Amino acid sequence: MKLKTLKVINIQKNKDVYHTVYMKNELGKHEMEVLKNGIISKESIKSLLLNYSNFLEYNIDSSKTAYQIFDILYKKIYS
């Protein structure tokens, strides 16, 4: 199944580079993946995004889903 990348948030953490990738497949279903130094990682997307939002001093409620947190961060960073 083909995936189309819609948005990416880049996170530098120590010497590692993380890319949180928001994608959509050909059926319209959305998916997210984390790449750590270019390799797919099993790291928790939600905790990675929450830690990054805390680092940026954004108050994002932890009860939100990973997709909601991603959208909030993306808007704050890139708009």
pLDDT at 1 (0 to 100) = 67
DSSP structural state of residue 32? E
Q: How many domains does the chain have?
A: 1
Q: What does the buried/exposed string (b/e) look like for 12-33 if buried means 16 or more CB atoms within 10 Å of the residue's CB? A: eeeeeebbbbbbeeeeeeeeee
pLDDT at 79 (0 to 100) = 86
State which residues form the domain around 22.
3-78
Intervals of the chain under pLDDT 70: 1
